């Protein structure tokens, strides 16, 4: 993986996870893609960690920074901190106490958190961290968990008259590109396996679909084809669009 900072035109690939690196007096937030990691922001802690109000505001600022990124569709969040510290645990405890919905992956606005010992402060550290077996395993597990949640909802609505389920790329494109307004559906998911993306002869077509889907608030997921969720999606041809209409 190559780590870059906002370089235009660089091939990023598809979103994989959000990565938060905590240090004693600051935290760094990254968007991890299949080819690069993009620096989003650095948050400073205004006072010492013993200052409860300052620490509370610090954690709240990180939650505020995560929200718009979660709305783009990525729901896997890896929290890192140096060994022998409680920085990651302190943040997760804050989330559990004040934003409990975030740790409920079955909710549309929920996410799956994972904790990892390490540093995600500098680009070279992020590059090394995201290459580790442990990081890749965590991302695969968290992505699979959230994909399972979506597929469980899909199974309940297969054949239902109040939902839309599409397996054809052409039909999916037609639905996403040509719908009359962004609010046609209450919840929408576009899911495809990493194998489908890699094997497709027209990758630009798929990347365009993924980008426009995110722009139109469709929750996109790239799922490992070897996971249970990936195998189920593969049974549908490798790609699926699932939507529940507004009532």
Q: List the domain boundaries for the chain.
A: 2-131, 146-245
* Residue 2 binned pLDDT confidence (cut-offs 50, 70, 90): very low
SS3 helix, strand, coil % of the chain, rounded to 5? 45, 25, 30
Per-residue tokens: 207: 């990347």
- Rounded Cα distance between 86 and 58, Å, is 15
Specify the pLDDT at position 143.
73
Yes or no: say if 205 and 191 are a contact pair by the CB < 8 Å rule.
no
**How many angstroms from the chain centroid is the CA of residue 230?**
16
Please give the torsion angle defined by the CA atoms of residues 229, 99, 156 and 76, in that order, rounded to the nearest 10 degrees.
Answer: -10
Yes or no: say if 191 and 206 are a contact pair by the CB < 8 Å rule.
no
**89-145: pLDDT as tens digits:** 999 999 999 999 888 766 666 788 989 999 999 999 999 999 899 998 888 777 777
- Rounded Cα distance between 65 and 45, Å, is 14
Closest by CA to 34, choosing from 111, 128, 136, is: 136
How are beta strands 26-33 and 36-44 bridged, if at all? antiparallel
75: exposed, middle or buried (Cβ count in 10 Å: 0-12, 13-18, 19+): buried
**133-188: pLDDT as tens digits:** 999 888 877 777 777 777 777 777 776 777 788 999 999 999 888 865 555 566 78
- Rounded Cα distance between 11 and 118, Å, is 26
DSSP 71: T
Give this prediction's pTM.
0.74
DSSP 28: E
CATH 2.40.50.140 fits domain 146-245: no
- Rounded Cα distance between 3 and 10, Å, is 11
- Rounded Cα distance between 55 and 170, Å, is 50
Residue 225: CB atoms within 10 A of its CB come to 19
CATH architecture of 2-131: 2-Layer Sandwich (3.30)
- Rounded Cα distance between 133 and 141, Å, is 12
**53-102: pLDDT as tens digits:** 999 999 999 999 998 888 776 778 999 999 999 999 999 999 999 999 88
- Please state, in angstroms and as integers, the Cα–Cα distance from residue 105 to each residue in 10, 71, 182, 217, following that order: 31, 13, 24, 18
Yes or no: say if 157 and 242 are a contact pair by the CB < 8 Å rule.
yes
**192-213: pLDDT as tens digits:** 998 998 898 888 899 899 888 8
């Amino acid at each position: 993986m190559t780590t870059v900072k906002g370089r235009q035109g660089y091939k990023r690939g598809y979103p994989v996870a959000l990565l938060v690196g905590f240090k004693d007096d600051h935290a760094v937030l990254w968007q991890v893609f299949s080819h690069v990691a993009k620096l989003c922001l650095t948050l400073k802690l205004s006072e010492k960690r013993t200052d409860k109000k300052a620490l509370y505001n610090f954690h709240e600022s990180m939650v505020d920074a995560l929200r718009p990124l979660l709305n783009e569709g990525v729901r896997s969040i890896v929290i890192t901190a140096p060994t022998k510290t409680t920085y990651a645990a302190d943040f997760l405890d804050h989330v559990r106490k004040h934003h409990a919905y975030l740790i409920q992956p079955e909710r549309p606005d929920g996410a799956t958190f994972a904790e990892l010992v390490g540093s995600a402060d500098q680009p070279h550290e992020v590059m090394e961290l995201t290459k580790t077996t442990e990081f890749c395993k965590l991302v695969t597990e968290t992505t699979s968990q959230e994909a399972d949640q979506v597929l469980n909802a899909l199974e309940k609505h297969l054949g239902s008259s109040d939902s839309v389920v599409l397996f054809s790329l052409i039909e999916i494109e037609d639905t996403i590109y040509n719908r009359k307004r962004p609010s046609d559906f209450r919840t929408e998911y576009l899911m495809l396996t990493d194998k489908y993306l890699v094997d497709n002869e027209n990758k630009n077509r798929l990347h365009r679909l993924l980008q426009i889907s995110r722009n139109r608030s469709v929750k996109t997921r790239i799922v490992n084809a070897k996971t249970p969720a990936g195998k189920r999606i593969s049974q549908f041809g490798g790609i699926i669009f699932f939507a529940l209409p507004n009532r």
